Amino acid sequence: MRLTILLPLAALALLPACKEAAAPGVAATAGLSPVAANAAALKHPRRVLPLEGGVNFRDLGGYMTTDGRMTRWEVLYRAGSPAGLTAKDQAELARRGIRTVCDLRASDERKAEPNAYVAANADVTYWTRDYAADAGDLMKVLGEPDASAEKSRAAMIGFYRTLPEEHAPAFRQMFAFLAAGKVPLAFNCSAGKDRTGTAAALVLTLLGVPRETVVADYALSDDLVDYMAKLSAGPKDGPYAALARLPREVVAPLLASDPAYIEAALDAIAAKHGSVEQFIERELVVTPAMKRAIIENLTAPV
């Protein structure tokens, strides 16, 4: 069964983003370790964009690194499906100057849910790659007579162990854009948690953000989007009907942003390549000069 049943789940969850408000400055976290400071930064009012139709659309700014820098606001964004962006949303993204979009979705996903922002802004660099995603192993587990939450979770962990390698071409291009200074840049998939979550984890790791924060940023999707509620409320004959008919406990692990998933991805990278940093250097072809440029473009001294 194709991944289009699994990954465009964010299209079911067009939840309003929290509104931006006045936020505490750097002084509020002075003296804290990067991990402690970033725990507060996760809830920063600027974290989630104030969009009407945005899905899990977040700013990756405000995170402290282990070498005393901080990720810049309004430079790098992660998101889910862009199909629901309203005209007001598009104006907000244009105001932020988003000039590059890396769409990590498969060909049929993009065809089913076109990128509204790119369609309205011809001057935006829009990068995609044509591929057909397949979630056969995951769907096989769901269809077994003895399907269970434990088996679904184990299948997702297995899925994440291979995800970084399978999507290396996309991550490689995204890092090239970041090194070239083609920012502000937004990257997205459909749910904004699997492919996008892995891409965010790789970028934050390169920047020197502590792993605890990398994992916490990944897990934040669970707090922002209630995929199960939207799935249950979907049409009985819609594309997600097959999932909706399955026991909730069996489906729930597929909809989750379980920290164990991104931990599995990072651990699998380290086991094969020695470290996440070496994977980025060797497989994503990020040279030392490119790394310095990315750090300069995406962070600032505290």
pLDDT, tens digit (0-9, with 9 covering 90-100), for 58-117: 999 999 999 999 999 999 999 999 999 999 999 999 999 999 999 999 999 999 999 999
The model's pTM: 0.89
Residue 61's contacts (CB-CB under 8 Å, 6 or more residues apart) are 46, 70, 71, 72, 73, 74, 75, 76
Asked if residue 298 lies in contact with residue 207, where contact means CB atoms within 8 angstroms, the answer is yes
More confident of the two residues 270 and 226: 270
From CA 160, how far away is CA 150, in angstroms rounded?
16
- Confidence class for position 247, pLDDT limits 50, 70, 90: confident
* Domains of the chain by start residue, with CATH: 3-301 (3.90.190.10)
Q: Phi/psi of residue 220, each to 5°?
A: -60, -25
From CA 249, how far away is CA 220, in angstroms rounded?
20
So what's the pLDDT on residue 241? 64
Q: Which of 47-51, 110-114, 176-180, 194-198 has the lowest mean pLDDT?
A: 110-114
Strand order in the sheet with 185-188: 58-59, 76-79, 185-188, 100-103, 125-127
Question: CA nearest 277: which of 189, 225, 214, 221?
Answer: 214
More confident of the two residues 12 and 276: 276
- Confidence class for position 189, pLDDT limits 50, 70, 90: very high
